[in-house]
Amino acid sequence: MTKSVTGGNVTPLPDPTSDDAVIRHALKILEARSRSPEWYVQGADDVKHYLRVRLAAEHGRECLFALYLDVAYGVIEGEVLQHGSLDPEAFQPRAVIQQALACNAAAVLLAHNQPPSGEAWSRADQQLVSRLAGALAPVGVRLLDYFLVGEALGIYSFSEHGRV
């Protein structure tokens, strides 16, 4: 068995023949980094790399994921807000607002992994982005970006396309 050094700790690497084991190991590394003040988001590409691995762990289950950032864009924490199809009209921004305030976040990044036939974006996605940005603004938290992640579309950034 080979060993990996992460943050000064020696941890055994998973059996390389198991894709799920490799993904779980990568997630542990990413989550450990995201809890340390050493991981600061430098741009959309940083988030895209993280989301590729993080949302792969959902095994194709549709979900809405949030990353909470401090004023220097250091990652405070990430969490799955909802599993299953996302109905923008039924989704309550309250959970995002409560968690952003609880962890003293200055900004939020959101991601929604799409089913394989998912579009680049829809009016429903745009409605959700507008609702969340409008709900977060009065409490001093910025919605920096909303990412759609899917096999067919790759990772689509609303901010890069002027939609946030």
Summarize pLDDT for 117-146 with one digit per residue, the tens. 656 667 888 888 999 999 999 999 999 999
Q: What is the 3-state secondary structure (H, E, C) of the chain?
A: CCEEEECCEEEECCCCCCHHHHHHHHHHHHHHHHHCCCCECCCHHHHHHHHHHHHHCCCCCCEEEEEEECCCCEEEEEEEEEECCCCCCCCCCHHHHHHHHHCCCCEEEEEEECCCCCCCCCHHHHHHHHHHHHHHHHHCCEEEEEEEEECCCEEEECHHHCCC
Summarize pLDDT for 40-65 with one digit per residue, the tens. 888 888 899 888 888 877 777 888 89
What average pLDDT does the structure give for the chain?
Answer: 81
Q: What is the pTM assigned to this prediction?
A: 0.73
What pLDDT is attached to residue 84?
A: 74
What pLDDT is attached to residue 62?
A: 83
What pLDDT is attached to residue 2?
A: 45
